[in-house]
Amino acid sequence: MIGSLLLISALFIAQPESLGEGNHKRQITVDDLKRLHWIHVPAKYDAKKAMPIVLALHGAMMDAKMMEAFCQLNATADKHGFIVVYPNGTGPGGFLQTWNAGLFPGDLNKQKVDDVKYLAKVLDDVIGSLNVDTKRVYITGLSNGGMMSYRLAAEMSERIAAIAPVAGTMAIEKYEPKRPIPVVHFHGTKDTLVPYDGPPKKKDIPTFLKFRSVNDTILACVKANGCDEKATESEVESKADKLRVTRKAYPAGRTGADVILYTIETGGHTWPGNAFSPAFLGTNTSNISANEVMWEFFARHALK
């Protein structure tokens, strides 16, 4: 009798913590480093039904809570019914966090932590605490977080259904995912932090400015996915402002992993459709909502 009770108690203790609707602060330890992430669970969450998940990665010199305020994905999650997770990068502390996205951030972060391993553990934590549809795991990110999205696509493609980088290009030398990853990318032509055409072609540029141009990034995705290199181009109807937004869609062919690029003419280092956009980042547009567009894209893609 006592043995049975002990066994039941042990099984009960072993069960993962079950989370519910609301915002949850979590801490995990990876390679002896304690790190935080926040989970937003929408009101539509039903523990009996698996729900999609979106990892939202902050930019350099930001942190998870700043990203939550900047991208405003919680409202989109509540509307459409998906879980959002905001992980923290590493760095000197406070808001000064970055991701080890490959060649970037270079000298900005001396720790050289394994962020691919960390973000895999973040996914494990969320999956262990909520009913997650593991075939519908998506990644988005701003700037350095967008760069990290590409690295995850390259190194963790077996767990990711699609990515949606915003104002962040590839910062890895080779892009060779084990399976084709659908991509929707947003970028302004007047982005001064992650320039559309890549870093300035000068010998004395800082060592942390190592990332590809938008065109090189998209072509790498098109090649990896086996897409038609001839894109279908269209212009988004201007309803809210005068910024011209164009859409280039590269057909997926038999892989089903299409690549789409939204270019915001004269747009800055911004998150399209977000009212919270500091002036120093450049001009933003409300003609499209990155949140709505990426979710529509995500909803069309799942792991097979």
Q: Give tens-digit pLDDT for 82-128.
A: 999 999 999 877 778 999 998 876 555 566 789 999 999 999 999 99
Q: Tokens 């394994």 label which residue?
A: 114
- pLDDT the model gives residue 1: 54
pLDDT-derived band of residue 14, with 50, 70 and 90 as boundaries? very low
- Between these two residues, 72 and 278, which has the higher pLDDT value? 72
Residue 204 included in any domain = yes
Residue 2 included in any domain = no
Residue 6 included in any domain = no
- pLDDT the model gives residue 4: 54
* Dihedral, CA of residue 287, residue 289, residue 293 and residue 299, to nearest 10: -150
- pLDDT the model gives residue 2: 57
- pLDDT the model gives residue 15: 45
Q: Using DSSP, state whether 214 is helix, strand or coil.
A: helix
Q: Give tens-digit pLDDT for 129-139.
A: 999 999 999 99
Contacts of 52 (CB under 8 A, 6+ apart): 81, 82, 83, 132, 133, 136, 137, 138, 298
Task: Name residue 81's amino acid.
Answer: G
Residue 286's domain is classified under what CATH number? 3.40.50.1820
Residue 304 included in any domain = no
Mean pLDDT (whole number) for 201-210: 62
pLDDT-derived band of residue 13, with 50, 70 and 90 as boundaries? very low
Token pair listed for 119: 């973000």
Residue 187 included in any domain = yes
Q: Which domain holds residue 147?
A: 18-299
- In 3D, which of 280, 258, 259 has the Cα closest to residue 269? 280
Residue 230 included in any domain = yes
Mean pLDDT (whole number) for 64-86: 97
Q: Tell me how many domains the chain contains.
A: 1
Residue percentage of the chain with pLDDT more than 90: 78
Q: Is the pLDDT of residue 8 over 70?
A: no
Mean pLDDT (whole number) for 223-239: 94
Residue 146 included in any domain = yes
Q: Give tens-digit pLDDT for 257-284.
A: 999 999 999 999 999 998 777 888 999 9
- pLDDT the model gives residue 196: 97
Mean pLDDT (whole number) for 232-252: 94
When mean pLDDT is compared across 47-61, 157-171, 206-220, 270-284, the lowest value belongs to 206-220
pLDDT-derived band of residue 57, with 50, 70 and 90 as boundaries? very high
Residue 134 included in any domain = yes
